[in-house]
A = this chain, B = another copy of it.
C-alpha cells in the first residue's frame, strides 16, 4: 500500500505518536508522516541516522550482531528505530508519555509490509 499509508496507519495506531518515517542511513528521509506538521522530519531523519550508525558500529565492534531495535527516551521525546531494509530504518517518534510498548509492537508488525516496498 505504499510507505505513506503504512506510516500514517502506524502513527494513528499508537497513542502519543508524533511522526513516522522511512530514513536512509545516509540521513535522507524517503517518506515521512507527521499529522500536525510539528516535527521537522528532515532534521530528525538526519540526526537519528547518525545515532543509528554510531550504535550499529558499536554493536559490530562488540560482535553482538546487527541492531534490530533502538529506543531513546528523553524528557521531550521517545524514539523507536528499526531497520527495514539494507541501508534503511523506520523511525517512530512519540511524546515522552506515549505508549512505548504499543509503539514497539506496531513498528515490529509493520516492518515486513514496509520491507516489501524496497
A58 touches B51 (CB 8 A): yes
Main secondary structure of the interface of A (DSSP, over half): mixed
Q: Is A38 an interface residue (CB 8 A)?
A: no
23 sampled A-B residue pairs with Cβ under 8 A: A43-B61, A43-B62, A47-B61, A51-B55, A53-B54, A54-B54, A55-B72, A59-B74, A59-B77, A63-B76, A64-B76, A64-B77, A65-B76, A65-B77, A66-B74, A66-B75, A67-B74, A69-B71, A69-B72, A69-B73, A70-B70, A70-B73, A71-B71
Tell me if A55 and B58 are in contact (CB < 8 A).
no
Residues of B within 8 A of A66 (CB): 74-75
